[in-house]
């Protein structure tokens, strides 16, 4: 887990001097920034070639050679990158800093710093762990809610950590243990269904997990006042996706430790909700399974009776995510919550359509969709709506069963998957996020690796709709 918070509230500044100011400087503000410096400082910065290019850093000394201030370039197009400050957390020497100069959105700038400084050091032999004293920290001005920023940063770090842990160390049991740790830390109730009961109650989850030596489970977390409005989160927890008997080629399998990214993200979101004490009744369902290959693995052509009673024909064992989600969604629907949200690394097609940075989302309700889109814009946590196109629903017809779980054509894969899920949610308002859960390269917002997507926006939406306790 994240070793320490990179944010510190201005009230608890350490005794060893005030925070070093970091001036954010757009290319057009360079002259003004230089004019504030002494002649020596100015010559030093000019000699270093600093031109306020995007994420460029100039360390400015005082007459004793100590660090007096930092200039941080925003480049020309500064409006679109509120998280550029993440680069500060990645590059500055140890010390305590504060932001100054052209700070457009102080909250997102501080959040950028906290998220940008995330590291996954579990397998680095302690070298990169970042002991407290060797890392830069940012003093958050008193008008910002430092504890909420910390809540967000730590919840994103939880999601990233869980995704980054390789499948040999994160099987269904370990994912379940992570759920238990979170529930205990937040005062939530948790129950876990496994073994014969899982086979009876959640046949699709049991069947998808049957090929693995590490048995499947369904985790059920509940938190909040029983009579508060009910919101249920469902996250795909496939700890590794080989594709099953429809085995994936090596290049497609390489990253499949991240196939529990939906579960990691709903746990991160649940953490935010519980820590902030939102006035809702939260339920989190995580089917935790490994899609493995063995003599006990399910087969293409099998017909499985789902929890809901629908007979599902298996078109391809690599479309396992929608199966485990179907049983969990059926359970969610049984108490008809006000809102169901599912998150899943569900289809390659979503990534083909929108790329790794932009999750696809689906909503049964236009008002819900536009409120979510507004929250996404406010938080700079983007996603893009795709339609639950009704005509394509017929593509799920099976020759022998109630439904096939894939289409027999290769069109609109993300939509078809969402339509399959929709068959298991009839009454509740429903939003589904088909996420990539992975950053293919390092960015200001964080390193290459597991990524939280859509949960900051979802939290903002829930906080606005239900209020804080
Ligand atoms: N976990 C994959 C989807 C995936 C692949 C997400 C790559 C992100 C990156 C999922 O279980 C899967 O394999 N889906 C298949 C469905 C197909 C067989 C209908 C896919 O998308 O190819
Ligand atoms: Zn798959
Ligand atoms: Zn999968």
Expressed in angstroms and rounded, the spacing between residue 253 Cα and the centre of ligand 1 is 10
Instruction: Kindly report, residue by residue over 192-245, the tens digit of the pLDDT.
Output: 999 999 999 999 999 999 999 999 999 999 999 999 999 999 999 999 999 999
- Whether residues 164 and 124 share a domain: the answer is no
Taking the centre of ligand 2 as the mean of its atom positions, its distance from the CA of residue 448, in whole angstroms, is: 22
Under the banding of pLDDT at 50, 70 and 90, the label for residue 353 is very high
Task: Please write the tens of the pLDDT for every residue from 82-96.
Answer: 999 999 999 999 999
> What is the residue with the minimal CA distance to atom 17 of ligand 1?
319
Residue nearest to atom 22 of ligand 1 (CA): 348
Q: Which domain holds residue 80?
A: 7-144
Separation of CA 38 and ligand 3 centre (Å): 59
Atom index in ligand 1 nearest the CA of residue 413 equals 19
* 185 part of a folded domain: yes
Of ligand 1's atoms, which has the minimum distance to the CA of residue 238?
1
Instruction: Specify whether 304 is located in the same domain as 401.
Output: yes
> What separation in Å is there between the alpha carbon of 319 and the centre of ligand 2?
5
Query: How many CB atoms are closer than 10 A to CB 181?
Result: 14
Same domain? 102 vs 185: no
The reply to whether 191 and 55 lie within a common domain is: no
pLDDT at 117: 97
Judge whether residue 4 has pLDDT over 90.
Answer: no
Q: Mean pLDDT across the stretch 266-279? A: 98
272 pLDDT more than 70: yes
Rounded Cα distance between 452 and 330, Å, is 25
Q: Assess whether 96 and 234 both reside in one domain.
A: no
How does the average pLDDT of the chain come out, rounded?
96
The reply to whether ligand 1 has any atom less than 6 angstroms from the CB of 348 is yes
**Best probe residue, ligand 1, of 348, 352, 407, 419 (max atoms within 8 Å of C-beta):** 348
Give the span between the Cα atoms of 110 and 112, in whole angstroms: 5
233 in the same domain as 107:
no
Q: What is the average pLDDT across 181-192?
A: 98
130 band by pLDDT with thresholds 50, 70 and 90: low
Confidence check: pLDDT of 184 > 90: yes
Nearest-Å Rg of the Cα atoms of the chain is 24
CB 96 near ligand 1, within 6 Å: no
| Residues, CB within 5 angstroms of ligand 2 (ion) | 241, 318, 320
pLDDT of residue 125: 80
- pLDDT value at residue 11: 74
State the residue for tokens 């925003």: 74
Domain boundary among 110, 129, 144: 144
Give the residue-averaged pLDDT of 289-307: 98
CA 388 to chain centre: 23
* Residue matched to tokens 């083909």: 352
Least confident of 16-30, 59-73, 102-116, 257-271: 16-30
Which structure tokens are listed for 184?
Answer: 């205990």
- Bridge partners (DSSP) of residue 284 are 221, 233
Number of domains within the chain: 2
Render pLDDT for 380-431 as a digit per residue (tens, 0 to 9).
999 999 999 999 999 999 999 999 999 999 999 999 999 999 999 999 999 9
| pLDDT > 70? residue 2 | no
């Amino acid at each position: 887990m994240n070793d320490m918070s990179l944010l510190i509230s201005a009230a608890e500044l350490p005794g060893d001097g005030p925070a070093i100011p970091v001036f954010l400087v757009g290319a057009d503000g360079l002259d003004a920034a230089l004019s504030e410096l002494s002649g020596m400082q100015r010559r030093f910065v000019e000699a270093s070639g600093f031109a306020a290019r995007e994420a460029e850093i100039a360390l400015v000394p005082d007459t004793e050679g100590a660090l007096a201030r930092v200039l941080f370039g925003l480049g020309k197009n500064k409006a679109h990158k509120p998280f550029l400050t993440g680069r500060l957390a990645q590059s500055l020497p140890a010390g305590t800093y504060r932001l100054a100069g052209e700070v457009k959105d102080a909250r997102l700038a501080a959040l950028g710093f906290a998220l940008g400084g995330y590291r996954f050091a579990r397998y680095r032999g302690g070298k990169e762990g970042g002991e407290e004293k060797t890392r830069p920290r940012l003093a958050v001005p008193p008008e910002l809610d430092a504890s909420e920023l910390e809540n967000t940063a730590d919840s994103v770090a939880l999601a990233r950590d869980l995704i980054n842990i390789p499948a040999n160390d994160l099987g269904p049991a370990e994912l379940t243990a992570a759920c238990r740790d979170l529930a205990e830390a937040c005062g939530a109730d948790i129950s876990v269904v496994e073994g014969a009961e899982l086979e009876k109650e959640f046949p699709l989850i049991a069947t998808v997990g049957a090929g693995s030596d590490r048995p499947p489970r369904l985790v059920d977390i509940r938190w909040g006042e029983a009579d508060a409005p009910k919101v249920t989160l469902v996250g795909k927890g496939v700890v590794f996706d080989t594709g099953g008997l429809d085995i994936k080629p090596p290049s497609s399998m390489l990253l499949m430790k991240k196939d529990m990214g939906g579960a990691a993200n709903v746990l991160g979101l649940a953490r935010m909700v519980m820590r902030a004490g939102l006035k809702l009744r939260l339920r989190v369902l995580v089917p935790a399974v490994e899609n493995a290959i063995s003599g006990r693995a399910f087969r293409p052509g099998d017909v499985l009776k789902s929890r809901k009673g629908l007979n599902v024909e298996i078109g391809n064992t690599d479309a396992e995510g929608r199966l485990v989600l179907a049983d969990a969604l059926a359970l969610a629907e049984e108490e008809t919550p006000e809102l169901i949200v599912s998150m899943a690394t569900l289809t390659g097609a979503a990534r083909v359509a929108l790329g790794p940075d932009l999750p696809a989302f689906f909503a049964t309700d236009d008002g819900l969709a536009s409120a979510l889109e507004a929250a996404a814009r406010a938080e700079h946590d983007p996603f893009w709506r795709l339609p639950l196109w009704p005509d394509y629903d017929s593509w799920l017809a099976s020759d022998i069963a109630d439904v096939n779980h894939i289409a027999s054509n290769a069109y609109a894969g993300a939509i078809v998957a969402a339509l399959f899920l929709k068959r298991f949610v009839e009454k509740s308002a429903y939003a589904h996020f088909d996420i990539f859960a992975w950053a293919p390269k390092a960015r200001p917002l964080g390193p290459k690796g597991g990524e939280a997507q859509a949960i900051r926006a979802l939290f903002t939406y829930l906080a606005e709709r239900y209020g804080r306790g």
